[in-house]
Amino acid sequence: MLVECAQLVESKTDQAVKLLVKFKDSVSKNDDPVEQFGFYFAEGLCIRVIVVELDTDRVYTGAWLGTYFGFIAGRYPSQDSPFSPAESLKPRIGLVGDEHFDQSFMQPSLEKFPQEELHQTTMEESMGTTLVSNVCVDIRGRIADKRTTGGWKAAPFIIAYASSLIFDLTSWPIEADIFFLSVFPVNEVAERLAFYAIAVNMVAYLVFQMHQSLPDAATHVTDWIGAAFVLTLFGAFCADAYLGRFKTIVIFSCIYTVGMVLLTLSASIDSLRPPQCKVRPCPQATGGQTWFLYGALALIALGTGGIKPCVSTFGADQFDEADKKEVPKKYAFFNWFFLAINMGALFGITVFVYIQDNKGWAWGFGLPTGAMVFSIVILVAGIRFYRFQEPMGSPFTRFVQVMWASVRNHLHGVQVGHQTELYEVKTNESDIKGAQNFLDKAAVVTDPEADTRNRWRLCTITQVEEFKSFLRILPVWASTIALSISFAQLSTFFISQANIMDRKLGSNFTIPAGSVPIFSVINALILVPIYEKVIVPILRKRTGHSRGITSLQRIGAGLFISIFAVASAALVEKKRRHSPNPSDMSVFWLFPQFFLIGSAEVFSYVGQLEFFYDEATDGTRSISSAMFLSEIGIGSWLSTAIVKIIERATGGEEKGWLRNNLNLSKLDYFYWVLTSINAVNLAVYVWIAVLYKGRGGAVGSVRSESVFEMGDGVLLEKEDDKGEKF
């Protein structure tokens, strides 16, 4: 019977109905529980066919016997609800035999079935539903199916690095491996390739092609990098509020590409650059030449701002947080994503920097432009495998509404007491952990007769708690900005040091100065797989934590390492400056500072990815991802400010610590200042991290809800951990 019904899943509705009637007649003559159970199984499959036939906007791709519990455990409308085919396809997690099952469209009587035969298990612990439990949809707007979307079917298009295949091969479906092998490299690799190909050598381009001074070029580059990463807040806003993450990535990738084309033109056309000279002072670039270059860099910065906050969160969206099998893969994804960034950086600072130095700037900028175009094509090619989160409105608007309603009610004398009724809409996804009296005033119902839909007067608890979650991460965010000041030196003064050192490798090859950060990149490429496959299992056994250590501990480890990274830079620079012939000192003396700064980045970057994604709500994940990326931008701007302050405080370009000629400068003093800042910052961070109680670590449980009907929402009474109302 079951096989016959399963074969008709793809058939016409009338055949399914006839089969259902046939089964019903036969089972009514037999009281055997097993046969009755089989009938309800067949009935579930047949009704699934009927529902799909009624929903003409959906294309059904087939049903499997393994999705039985997903078909009948609450996926049909209850008797007292109007029938909606689209609604009937939405999954609701419930126990087989509980009210979700008993109130289903079929209304079976499970209580007469032996429990040892039903095992009363959840869908996920049984053969399980194949649809995601969150709000992700596929390209056609249907609830995403795990068999055909997301996971490692989609992730390779996003992270694009072959090590993922090697180290996680056993957990990938076969078709994912095939597609993975065909899509190297893609968007994130290409974007980082282009960005690093520009960033690490832009100081040299501004000095030798645009004839700017070294301090000015360094500050202009850090300003540009700062703008690129601060603009991630704008990109995240567009994604969360209006466009969704995928559309944002594609649109801003196109903007990025236009900027790359203009930059290539600037390096190709002689009239867009000042004439070359061998003896300084050289003629300065004209206003038109400068603004054309800055316009190209501005478009690249804007494109970066749209791409960066969305790629990591879009990749994480491909994994269902309610699926125990997919959750570990999501955290592995963050490591491989970081690996993809470094793979792009590896190509950018080696192959393309070499091309810039030896084949010309036009080729050095033009080839990354082509790679970026190719990446957009490949990213779009994987569209049918993706899971999409629909935009949920502007989080900033919701935050302002909470503040406005809180202040308004506070000025009207509203108090939040033990038995104060708070407003909430009817939803199963609400009431995030945590409570603070002042902001709770935004959810206090002052007039039961008033319009509850005006969010400027009355906010939901979910809206209030979303704002609180955002506020809680701000101290952690602020206490990690100092690390980005150190990272800013990677593309400025670290490169300037390498530029005046002996970079010969053998007798015939000279390492381009812009390629020296490869020391940092190679460290990351080696350390990430080792951390994921060796260190995490060891730490997991010792700590019992699923990821070995918490994301906050991982960030703290990065901050700790950064102190030694900058201190080693100071010691090496002191030795170089006091050596008899500084130019003969090997560039490999810079290896410790690059190695350590790379190690700090491995811990802090991935830790921040995990932390900001976990602590964010569904509607603020792009914004939260942009928060930590904006640290890089703010750190770059602070680096510029510190350079300017030190330059003026120590005597300017003629006598100061930072001059055009590093042999006459005291760059090691500047590094010691940064070391002190990092040490103080670490102490502040540890204090904040110890006190931090986030969504996963908040004291107490999510409040139980006593529900009272009121308009389009409900009133909630607070309960403590023991279930006592207060």
Measured between its terminal Cα atoms, the distance across the chain in Å is: 56
- 658 touches 492 (CB < 8 A): no
Give φ, ψ of 365 to 5 degrees: -95, -30
Helix (H), strand (E), coil (C) string for 305-373: HHHHHHHHHHHHCCCCCCCCCCHHHHHHHHHHHHHHHHHHHHHHHHHHHHHHHHCCHHHHHHHHHHHHH
Residue 388 pairs in a beta bridge with 137
Residue 195, both tokens: 């960005």
Measured over all CA atoms, what is the biggest interatomic distance in the chain, rounded to whole angstroms?
103
Q: What is the pLDDT of residue 83?
A: 37
Q: Which of 253, 61, 56, 52 is CA-nearest to residue 138?
A: 61
Rounded CA separation 571/191 (Å): 34
pLDDT tens for residues 105-136?
A: 333 333 333 333 333 333 333 334 555 555 56
C-alpha separations of 680 from 482, 556, 568 in Å: 9, 13, 17
Q: Report residue 320 as tokens.
A: 């269902």
Q: How far apart are CA 341 and CA 602, in angstroms?
A: 11
- Cβ(102)–Cβ(110) below 8 Å: yes
Q: How many CB atoms neighbour CB 137 within 10 A?
A: 17
- DSSP E strands, 135-214: none
Residue with tokens 């590409």: 257
Q: How far apart are CA 73 and CA 94, in angstroms?
A: 6
Query: Nearest CA to 429 among 93, 76, 79, 78?
Result: 93
Question: Residue 413 region, left (φ>0) first, then alpha (ψ -120 to 50), else beta?
Answer: left
Q: What tens digit of pLDDT does each residue of 144-163 get?
A: 565 556 554 554 545 442 22
Pairing of strands 713-716, 422-425: antiparallel
**Strands 504-505, 422-425: pairing kind:** unpaired
pLDDT of residue 500: 83
Which residues in the chain show pLDDT less than 50? 1-3, 5-14, 47-128, 152, 155, 157, 159-185, 419-420, 425-436, 696-726
What is d(CA 55, CA 36) in angstroms, rounded to the nearest whole number? 28
Q: Can you read off the two tokens belonging to residue 417? A: 């007491």
Give how far Cα 253 sits from Cα of 186, 201, 208, 245, 665, Å.
Answer: 12, 22, 29, 12, 40
> Is the CA virtual torsion 455, 457, 463, 468 positive or negative?
positive
| Rg of the chain over all Cα atoms, to the nearest angstrom | 30
For 422, the enclosing helix (H) or strand (E) is strand 422-425
CA atoms within 13 A on the CB side of 578: 7
- Sheet arrangement for strand 708-710: 422-425, 713-716, 708-710
**CA–CA distance, 714 with 688 (Å, rounded to integer):** 36
Pair of tokens at residue 301:
């910065």
DSSP state of 582: G
Q: Is 147 helix (H, G, I), strand (E, B) or coil?
A: coil
- What the block records as the tokens of 20 is 């259902």
pLDDT of 251: 92
Distance from C-alpha of 525 to C-alpha of 338, rounded to nearest angstrom? 9
Domains and CATH numbers, the chain: 2-118 (no CATH), 187-390+479-504+515-691 (1.20.1250.20), 395-467+710-716 (no CATH)
Reduced to 3 states, what is the DSSP secondary structure of residue 713? strand
Q: Is residue 585 within 8 Å of residue 272, measured between CB atoms? A: no
Q: What interhelical angle do 621-649 and 461-478 show, nearest 10? A: 30
For 715, list phi and psi in degrees, rounded to 5. Answer: -100, 140
